[in-house]
């Protein structure tokens, strides 16, 4: 789904909630938007949930759990509290699993306007260039579990 048809998450707070079925030691994209030169992703790597924000391919901010999740159903959520005060500001990202805080960290800068003219928002894989460097290509980004549902909620800017 191209950027102009996906919910606008720029310059505002957001919550991304995914209900997933894990097989153990999961890897791959749950939800992503953008690509190598800007975007964000909620994903699993080595069984651990993570969130990466890619600022124009120049800076990447990753918030990740240090604990791998077991096989079974899980709710993986990231809350991003935007600092406000104008476009492109930073915020605090907090990662939760089944309502329990797993990790949090700062995203110092965000993309103020457009991630890309031709990258997409994708569930279960990253269809073009990769937001997350750990995934070398589309095939490598395929989620090994299954995404049952994903919601994106935003606050007004």
Burial label for 89, CB within 10 Å (0-12, 13-18, 19+), is middle
The model carries a pTM of 0.95
- pLDDT band of residue 108 (cuts 50, 70, 90) is very high
* pLDDT beyond 70 at 157: no
Mean pLDDT of the chain: 95
In terms of Cα–Cα distance, which of 40, 46, 90, 93 is closest to 66? Answer: 46
Give the pLDDT mean for 55-84: 97
Q: Which two tokens stand for residue 150?
A: 């994903």
Contacts of 87 (CB under 8 A, 6+ apart): 10, 11, 112, 113
Q: Is the pLDDT of residue 34 over 70?
A: yes
The 10s digit of each residue's pLDDT in 2-28 is: 777 788 899 999 999 999 999 999 999
Write the CATH number of the domain with boundaries 3-145: 2.60.120.200
- Provide mean pLDDT across the span 119-128: 93
């Amino acid at each position: 789904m191209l950027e102009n048809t996906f919910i606008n998450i720029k310059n505002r707070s957001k919550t991304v909630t995914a209900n997933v079925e894990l097989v153990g030691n999961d890897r791959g994209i749950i939800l992503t938007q953008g690509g190598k030169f800007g975007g964000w992703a909620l994903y699993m790597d080595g069984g651990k949930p993570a969130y990466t924000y890619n600022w124009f391919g120049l800076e990447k901010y990753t918030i990740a759990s240090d604990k791998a999740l077991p096989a079974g159903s899980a709710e993986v959520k990231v809350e991003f509290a935007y600092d406000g005060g104008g476009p492109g500001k930073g915020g605090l990202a907090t990662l939760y699993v089944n309502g329990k805080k797993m990790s949090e960290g700062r995203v110092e800068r965000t993309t103020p306007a457009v991630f890309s003219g031709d990258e997409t928002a994708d569930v279960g894989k990253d269809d073009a260039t990769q937001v997350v460097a750990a995934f070398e290509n589309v095939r490598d980004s395929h989620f090994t579990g299954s995404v049952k549902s994903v919601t994106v909620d935003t606050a007004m800017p």
